[in-house]
Amino acid sequence: MSRTLLSIRHLEVPEIESLLQLSKEHKDRVLNGMPPAPAASRTIGLLFFENSTRTRVSFEQAANYSGYRVSNFIAEASSLSKGETLKDTIRTLRSERLDAVVIRHKSSGSAQLAAQFFGGPVINAGDGEHEHPTQALADALTILEHKGRLDGLKVAIVGDVLHSRVARSNAWLLEKMGADVRLVGPPNLLPAETGKLPGEFYQSLLPALQDADVVMCLRLQKERMMEGLLASVGQYRRGYQVNRETLMVAKDDCIVMHPGPLNRGVELDDFAADGPHSVIGEQVENGIYVRMAALSWVFGESLAPVKAKAAKVNA
């Protein structure tokens, strides 16, 4: 049975739990030199219509570890530049016999559209301002490794909530798993209809960071901002930067996260980015394992066997 992974909002708690458990199993296997053997020969299309470093490389690494091949789609070099629609591009890729599609696109809802026309496994790697489910799973795995639970944790999600698919996927996931979600940012960078997202909204940083277990910074998404939305970067920094000083009100053992790419010195200072609270590098690495889990999950291969050679070494 194949599946799609398009959003966190539409996942049930047991599905989130099984994806996280599967990610952990993949991580253990990779770290023990026993990545899963491919259950079948499969080719995954990586369709990145927007720039990406972490997400693209970690999907490639996930495919490498799991023994899948990838076919990279370069938007500028494709027929899209000749005016082909997304729908026709996806239909073409179906005819090319790809087994799954991973898609990142600037339009909210593009992953859903891709799933409709591909008719097989599709993973959303970020659709506009909508969702980025594998990032939220990587973040949840990282939090679990540090805190041992999600339930009851105070999590502050800071910054450009309005434009952030990472904020949306994380808010849904954390709320479903019982965390106390706080969304904080300048009024212009918070959604107008706050009732559509789970969590409590704050316009001042310190009350949102008070006693926080997890402080999750967001990138200022200038490419999605209408002109004039942000008064000035300096003003943002003064009001909302996560730094040595503002972190004083959070728990002593709080962790600081950022999905990257970071505007160092704007969303967070060097202390927050590189100091003892930072888990940013771990988020990146966990991205590999959750994408391994996402691929095996959409293929319905939740119990992928250990590679025979590695198993012998272990025996």
Contact between 139 and 181 (Cβ < 8 Å): no
- Three-class DSSP category at 158: strand
Cα→Cα distances 193→189, 197, 201, 229, 230, Å: 12, 8, 11, 17, 19
Nearer to ligand NCD, 55 or 278 (CB): 55
DSSP one-letter code for 217: E
Distance separating alpha carbons of residues 119 and 303, to the nearest angstrom: 23
Sheet hosting strand 100-105, strand order edge to edge:
69-74, 43-48, 100-105, 122-127
Instruction: Enter the tokens of residue 16.
Output: 């989130």
DSSP of 89-111, one letter per residue? HHHHHHHTT-SEEEEEESSTTHH
| Distance in Å, CB of 220 to ligand NCD, minimum | 8
| Distance in Å, CB of 280 to ligand NCD, minimum | 10
| Distance in Å, CB of 165 to ligand NCD, minimum | 5
| Distance in Å, CB of 48 to ligand NCD, minimum | 10
Residue of closest CB approach to ligand NCD:
219
Nearer to ligand NCD, 6 or 166 (CB): 166
Nearer to ligand NCD, 29 or 56 (CB): 56
| Distance in Å, CB of 70 to ligand NCD, minimum | 17
| Distance in Å, CB of 88 to ligand NCD, minimum | 25
Nearer to ligand NCD, 210 or 221 (CB): 221
Q: Which helix (H) or strand (E) holds 14?
A: helix 13-31
- Three-class DSSP category at 72: strand
* Coarse DSSP helix, strand, coil percentages of the chain, rounded to the nearest 5 percent: 45, 15, 40
Distance separating alpha carbons of residues 269 and 244, to the nearest angstrom: 7
Catalytic residues: 54-55, 82, 104, 132
Nearer to ligand NCD, 24 or 54 (CB): 54
Q: Which residues bind ligand NCD (CB under 6 A)?
A: 54-55, 126, 132, 135, 165-166, 219, 221, 259-260
Angle between helices 133-147 and 165-176 (to 10 degrees): 50
Q: Which helix (H) or strand (E) holds 60?
A: helix 54-66
Nearer to ligand NCD, 37 or 262 (CB): 262
